[in-house]
Amino acid sequence: MKRRDLLKIIGASVITAGTGSFSKAFGKDTLDGVSEKANEALSQTAFPDVVWVENGEPAQLLAAALKEMGGMGRFVAKGDVVVVKPNIGWDRSPELAATTNPDLVGEIIKEVLNAGAKKVKVFDRTCNNPRRCYENSQIREKAEAAGAEVLNIDDSRFTTIELKKGELLKEWSVYKDYLEADKVINVPIAKHHGLATLTLGLKNLMGVLGGPRGEIHSPFTKLIDIVAGILPTLTIIDAYRILLRHGPQGGDLKDVKLAKTLIMSPCTVAADHTAVSLFELQPQDLSYLQEAVKRNLNKIAIPVANLKKVVL
């Protein structure tokens, strides 16, 4: 079953439509069956659960990770509409490590299109002025050159979904283009965050959320209420440069470390769990990550056992 088909069922519980619940529309037994089959397929694969590649340029890091993971064609099918979701949130140049590396974004888009995708969309709900963020991050330039459609956020395209398993939140708005995509490639940059400790894959999904996002910061476990039902197909953590301090916005090159690393996994929780070591932290230092594990949002066993490290 395609990701979009599952998410279409979420549309049955969209608050604005008022057409009933997710479980009624699809059935719990069927959902459990889908989950069990997905987990079984993941456990039987010969591919690693997480790939860590270091000591290369963005294109080299991506190529090496995809080689270990079985290629982009394992995740993207011919005719798919794919969202590539980088962090474009801040009016910063790539050297300041506040936004996703634009060269990596461009290379991912090329791989997705080469795998047969019909269309690639790139967007983010920015914190600073959108035009300046898109331009100064160089993501618009690189993404369009690679063949993607770069979208400016349109507030009318946020739609409210019911959070059936939400503990603190029961509904929130999510960008419709994200929900309607066949596949999503989540491409966060690994960086410090003054409130959340780190921004990684789970936190990067805030860029597709509407509403007063400041409310999600207290406590950050609210984020898990929302993202539990909208996890991406593949998470690729950009750690070419990482922001060690004064995140998420940064602004001083003294706070940036050239790590020349990339982490890839079909499990966002596992990718995040692996990436915390970049900052000499432990997974338990991130409350929202621990909450994700507690709620079994990980597709694979945590801590990660099947981790492949590659040094170029």
Amino acid at 18: G
pLDDT at 28 over 60: no
Residue 189 token pair: 């940059």
The Cα–Cα gap between 202 and 101 comes to 18
The confidence score (pLDDT) of residue 72 equals 98
197-199 and 234-243 strand pairing:
unpaired
Percent of the chain at pLDDT > 90 equals 83
DSSP, collapsed to helix, strand or coil, labels residue 191 as strand
What CATH number should be reported for the domain holding residue 113? Answer: 3.40.50
DSSP, collapsed to helix, strand or coil, labels residue 41 as helix
The confidence score (pLDDT) of residue 29 equals 37
Model confidence at 220, pLDDT cuts 50, 70, 90, reads confident
Radius of gyration of the chain (CA): 18
pLDDT at 212 over 90: yes
| Residue, of 33 and 274, whose pLDDT is higher | 274
**Full residue range of the structural domain in which residue 244 is found:** 3-311
The Cα–Cα gap between 166 and 262 comes to 31
DSSP, collapsed to helix, strand or coil, labels residue 136 as helix
Give the mean model confidence (pLDDT) for residues 18-32.
Answer: 34
Phi, psi of 170 (to 5 degrees): -115, -10
Q: How far is CA 99 from the centre of its chain?
A: 13
Model confidence at 9, pLDDT cuts 50, 70, 90, reads very low
Give the mean model confidence (pLDDT) for residues 170-186.
Answer: 98
pLDDT at 11 over 60: no
CA triplet 46, 49, 50: central angle to 5 degrees? 130
Number of domains in the chain: 1
DSSP, collapsed to helix, strand or coil, labels residue 109 as helix
pLDDT at 10 over 90: no
Residue 182 token pair: 């066949």
The Cα–Cα gap between 251 and 271 comes to 26
183-187 and 171-175 strand pairing:
unpaired
| Residue, of 34 and 307, whose pLDDT is higher | 307
The Cα–Cα gap between 293 and 270 comes to 9
Model confidence at 6, pLDDT cuts 50, 70, 90, reads low
Give the mean model confidence (pLDDT) for residues 24-40.
Answer: 41
Residue tagged 């945590």 (tokens): 302
**Complete DSSP assignment for 115-132:** TT-SEEEE----SS-HHH
Query: What sign results for the dihedral spanned by CA atoms 109, 91, 243, 194?
Result: negative
Model confidence at 4, pLDDT cuts 50, 70, 90, reads low
Residue 20 token pair: 């009933």
